[in-house]
Amino acid sequence: MESLNGAELCFPQLNTSCKKPPLHHVGNILIYSLLSLICFFTVTLNILVVFSISYFRQLHTTTNFFLLSLAVSDFFVGLVLMPIRIIMTGGCWILGSFMCGFFNYSAYIITSASVGNMVLISVDRYVAICDPLHYPTKLTHKRVQICVCLCWACSVLYNGMILKDHLKQPDKYNSCHGECTVVIDFKTGAFDFIFTFFGPITVITALYMRVFVVAVSQARAMRSHVAAVSQKGSAPVSAKRSERKAATALGVVVIVFLMCICPYFFPTLAGKDTSFNSQLSVFGSWFFYSNSCLNPMIYVFFYPWFRKSIKLILTLKILQSDCCDANIL
């Protein structure tokens, strides 16, 4: 058997080292540059979202608290998952077994938390549109904070159970040194698919279908009674219009999220064991990660308050003592 040159191995000093994949210099530079750019924008834009909602008092609403939680998960995608995936693009895992387990555990936690946040956002819009009179009492700030904390806590505990064997032996499925592979068997993957994809997506779709029907009926009622509500009823009409606009914007966020997460679960849909190191899984992961960059871009397009807050931040007007009370809605 022809021996491999040391330069062709991930760890030349080890006989059990993995072989490096063929390198294409120009192509690698373009891929690294593109992925690094996506990573930079993901971190930067989501920092702006987190800071805006946390800093400006007018943005301390129940809906925005859900957006804040989603932005936090998107931020960690750009800060933790994307850089490590970029390192893995070279074909060799050089961070050791502990970081291998940490990376895969973090990836599953963030994925589950993002799905949970989308369910919470859908419930928020459902109550706001379909039961607006009871919205302030049903979704108080304290209840929203508890729901967000439970979402993250359940994600940590649930994925700890799913990946308990991998966390004990992160290199269990590695065929050579320089790999970071986690394999989820079909039964566990099917359960995870139902619990973190099919079930939540069904709930999200059902809630937004109901929101859409109610929003359309409200719009028709407003047009037919516009004369009657032109004066005294103008405030409620404006409130309803604001709620429908928020539902539309968050509906776009949910639809884009569904489009980005479907390839992530494609191996399970195909009835295969899920390997986090396969080419199909890598493609699905990056497609899902791109959603974390798209979300704040959607906010820029749909939310004037986000554009105003970015302007105040970039012009350093937030250094003024009373800027947190600025009128940006």
- Whether the per-residue pLDDT at 304 is higher than 60: the answer is yes
pLDDT tens-place string over residues 107-153 = 899 989 988 998 998 899 888 888 888 888 888 889 999 999 999 99
Is residue 284 one of the residues assigned to a domain?
yes
Is residue 43 one of the residues assigned to a domain?
yes
Is residue 152 one of the residues assigned to a domain?
yes
Is residue 16 one of the residues assigned to a domain?
no
Which of 152-158's residues contact partners 24+ apart within 8 Å by CB, and which partners? 152/69, 152/109, 152/113, 152/116, 154/112, 154/116, 155/109, 155/110, 155/112, 155/113, 155/116, 156/109, 158/112, 158/195, 158/196
CATH number at residue 52: 1.20.1070.10
Is residue 10 one of the residues assigned to a domain?
no
Is residue 7 one of the residues assigned to a domain?
no
Is residue 4 one of the residues assigned to a domain?
no
Provide the domain limits for residue 114: 25-169+176-221+235-325
Is residue 141 one of the residues assigned to a domain?
yes
pLDDT tens-place string over residues 142-190 = 999 999 999 999 999 999 998 888 888 888 877 788 788 887 777 787 7
E strand or H helix at 274: strand 274-275
What pLDDT, on the 0 to 100 scale, is given for residue 235?
A: 46
pLDDT tens-place string over residues 91-107 = 678 888 888 889 889 98
| Backbone φ and ψ of 19, nearest 5° | -85, 135
- What is the pTM for the complete model shown? 0.82
Confidence of residue 44 (pLDDT cuts 50, 70, 90): very high
What pLDDT, on the 0 to 100 scale, is given for residue 1?
A: 39
Number of domains in the chain: 1
Q: How far apart are CA 298 and CA 223, in angstroms?
A: 28
